[in-house]
Amino acid sequence: MDVREPGDRQQALAAAVDKVLAQFHPQSEFIFDELVVSLPPQAVKAACQLARDDADLAFDYLRCLSVVDLGERRQVVYHLYSTRHRHKMVIKAALPADMPAIASVTSIWPGANWHEREARDLFGVTFEGHPKLTPLLLWEGFPGHPLLKSYPVSGLEDRG
């Protein structure tokens, strides 16, 4: 277990991320105790693989996977945690809204499976390479993606 002070741990995390993910030119900053890293979408899967396997990062736990609707872009957000080093990182990747697709990270963290199915249900993001990208919360044939800003609150159907 890492017994260093929180500030020291954050500096070590920032240095390790700069070194391990250097090939992706990450833009990173600390927001509270989380290191927020913005990456191009095509680099996310390789970066996640490195973040999990590198001994200094060791992000073995995907805490959350969410999507933000930013209008012309949709931002996929990965919240990572290391149970060994007890540090946190957030990876953000912005996708074009007309064709939102990104590589699945289910092969890295099996827990991403249902997160990605839910994200596809509610935001329409396609996760390429997902083993079974079927609806999780909604039902087959549900029209639209309800958490998009453009979706009417009461639904697309005629409510009578």
Partner 1 sequence: MAVNSEPRPHVVPNHLPPDLATPDRGDGLEGVLVRPLYQRMLPKVITTRADTLFGLARKSSLWPLQFGLACCAIEMISTHMAHHDLDRFGIVMWPSPRQCDVMIVAGTVVKKMAPTVKLLYEQMPEPKWVIAMGACAISGGPFAKSYAVVRGVDKVIPVDVYVPGCPPRPEALMDAYMRLQDLIMERARGNGRQGARG
Q: By the criterion CB under 8 A, which residues form the site for partner 1?
A: 138-139, 146, 151-157, 159
Identify residue 17 by its one-letter amino acid code.
V
For residue 17, what is the enclosing H or E element? helix 6-20
**Minimum distance from residue 35 beta carbon to partner 1 (Å):** 36
Assign residue 101 a region: left if phi > 0, alpha if psi is -120 to 50, beta otherwise?
beta
For residue 123, what is the enclosing H or E element? helix 112-123
Query: Smaller CB distance to partner 1: residue 81 or 142?
Result: 142
**Minimum distance from residue 147 beta carbon to partner 1 (Å):** 10
Residue closest to 87 by CA, chosen among 9, 16, 7: 9
Report strand pairing: 73-81 vs 101-103: unpaired
**Minimum distance from residue 140 beta carbon to partner 1 (Å):** 11
**Minimum distance from residue 73 beta carbon to partner 1 (Å):** 23
Residue with tokens 């699945």: 104
Query: Smaller CB distance to partner 1: residue 90 or 147?
Result: 147
